[in-house]
């Protein structure tokens, strides 16, 4: 049912855009598609997810108040998708506020990482809440940053949510399993129309939403299960997080620009320009989508090992370091 709702809503948004030219993307030098496209796919993903969990009233994790928090955030970010008038600072503040409210509402906190000096500070509830809020905010921004090609953010989310479902099933956590499965179906309904032809895009609202919710589910799973390390969450999401951190450092130290300055020097852009040869493809959309397949495959170098060593903090930390080294090596080679 969730997949069907998401798919139908996505179809409606495509039709609405074509008929009324509402909510379309703006073509510029950083875009890799030729025609204005609806970037309101996040509405389909978020609405189908929130409707499904609201109808499952027996669930305690996501209730009415949480739905209202997420809807408020979506409405705020949709202003950017529709008008493109929100400054990066305002979007960042919205993400931080929403992350903070989610942390409080779900009683979510990263309290132990297995590193004595870090655990000493995280024992303080205020520090733990702030650290968790910042972590969620970074993840949401990272998801938005990688959302540049057909099926990239949604494809990455599908892989991550599948892993979360498998782990939740193994540790007997039916709530996280249900929520991960519901979000997965919401993403799939959109993904069918986004990949490979790019009939509709997630937009900022959709990317931020996926980053926040997948992050929340992973943190809740680690918090509720003693055998799962919080480093599992880092290894699972190291690609979007490192993409964000690396891009900020690169812009500040190398390009000498603002850390929030948009550019086309992300790894997915470089692979599109330097690795994928569009002349080999009959349509530009296939070239676009091939880039996403390569990036998601690279991301699996951390996601799949994270699943294998879900309860091994040393291995999980090592996986994250190795992935960052792989990412940096590929970037420097292509740059």
Judge whether residue 34 has pLDDT over 60: no
What are the angstrom distances between the C-alpha of 89 and each of 32, 85, 143, 322? Answer: 26, 12, 17, 32
pLDDT band of residue 62 (cuts 50, 70, 90) is low
- CA-CA distance, 161 to 217, in Å (whole number)? 9
**206-249 residue pLDDT tens:** 899 999 999 999 999 999 998 899 999 999 999 999 999 999 99
| Beta-sheet strands, E only, within 182-320 | none
**143-194 residue pLDDT tens:** 999 998 999 999 999 999 999 999 999 999 999 999 999 999 999 999 999 9
CB-neighbour burial class of residue 92 (10 A; exposed 0-12, middle 13-18, buried 19+): middle
The answer to whether residues 64 and 76 touch, using CB atoms and an 8 Å cutoff, is no
pLDDT at 238: 97
**Separation of first and last alpha carbons in the chain:** 45
pLDDT at 80: 61
What are the angstrom distances between the C-alpha of 213 and each of 50, 64, 106? Answer: 11, 16, 12
Q: Which residue has the higher pLDDT, 248 or 280?
A: 248
**Enclosing H/E stretch for 155:** helix 152-170
SS3 91: helix
pLDDT band of residue 318 (cuts 50, 70, 90) is very high
Judge whether residue 133 has pLDDT over 50: yes
**22-31 residue pLDDT tens:** 666 655 445 5
What are the angstrom distances between the C-alpha of 330 and each of 167, 217, 299, 324? Answer: 30, 30, 13, 10
Strand partners, 200: 38
Rg of the Cα trace of the chain? 19
pLDDT at 29: 46
The answer to whether residues 278 and 292 touch, using CB atoms and an 8 Å cutoff, is no
**75-120 residue pLDDT tens:** 666 666 666 656 777 778 888 988 998 898 888 989 888 888 988 9
What pTM, to 2 d.p., does this model score? 0.91
For residue 265, give the nearest of 253, 252, 278, 255 by alpha carbon.
255
Q: How high is the mean pLDDT of the chain? A: 86
- CA-CA distance, 183 to 204, in Å (whole number)? 17
pLDDT at 332: 92
Judge whether residue 270 has pLDDT over 60: yes
pLDDT band of residue 279 (cuts 50, 70, 90) is low
Question: What are the structural domain ranges in the chain?
Answer: 2-334
DSSP states along 212-241: HHHHHHHHHHHHH-TTS-THHHHHHHHHHH
- CA-CA distance, 178 to 93, in Å (whole number)? 30
């Amino acid at each position: 049912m969730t997949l069907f709702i998401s798919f139908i809503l996505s179809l409606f948004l495509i039709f609405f855009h074509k008929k009324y030219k509402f909510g379309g993307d703006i073509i510029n030098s950083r875009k890799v598609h030729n025609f204005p496209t609806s970037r309101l796919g996040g509405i389909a993903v978020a609405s189908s997810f929130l409707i499904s969990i609201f109808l499952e009233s027996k669930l305690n994790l996501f209730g009415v108040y949480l739905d209202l928090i997420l809807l408020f955030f979506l409405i705020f970010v949709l202003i950017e998708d529709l008008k493109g008038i929100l400054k990066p600072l305002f979007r960042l503040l919205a993400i931080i506020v929403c992350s903070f409210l989610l942390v409080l509402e779900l009683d979510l906190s990263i309290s132990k990482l297995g590193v004595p000096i870090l655990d000493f500070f995280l024992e303080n509830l205020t520090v733990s809440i702030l650290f968790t809020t910042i972590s969620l905010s970074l993840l949401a921004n990272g998801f938005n940053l990688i959302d540049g090609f057909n099926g990239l953010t949604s494809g990455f989310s599908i892989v991550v949510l599948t892993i979360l479902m498998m782990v939740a099933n193994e540790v007997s956590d039916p709530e996280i399993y249900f929520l991960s499965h519901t979000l997965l179906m919401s993403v799939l309904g959109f993904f069918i129309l986004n990949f490979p032809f790019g009939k509709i895009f997630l937009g900022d609202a959709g990317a931020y939403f996926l980053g926040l919710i997948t992050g929340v589910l992973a943190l809740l799973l680690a918090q509720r299960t003693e055998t799962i390390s919080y480093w599992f969450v880092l290894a699972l999401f190291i690609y979007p997080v490192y993409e964000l951190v690396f891009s900020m450092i690169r812009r500040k130290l190398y390009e000498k620009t603002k850390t929030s300055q948009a550019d086309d020097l992300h790894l997915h852009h470089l692979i599109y320009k330097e690795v994928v040869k569009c002349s080999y493809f009959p349509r530009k959309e296939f070239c676009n989508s091939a880039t996403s397949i390569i990036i998601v495959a690279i991301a699996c170098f951390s996601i799949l090992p994270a699943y294998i060593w879900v309860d091994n903090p040393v291995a999980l930390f090592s996986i994250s370091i190795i992935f960052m080294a792989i990412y940096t090596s590929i970037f420097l080679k292509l740059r």
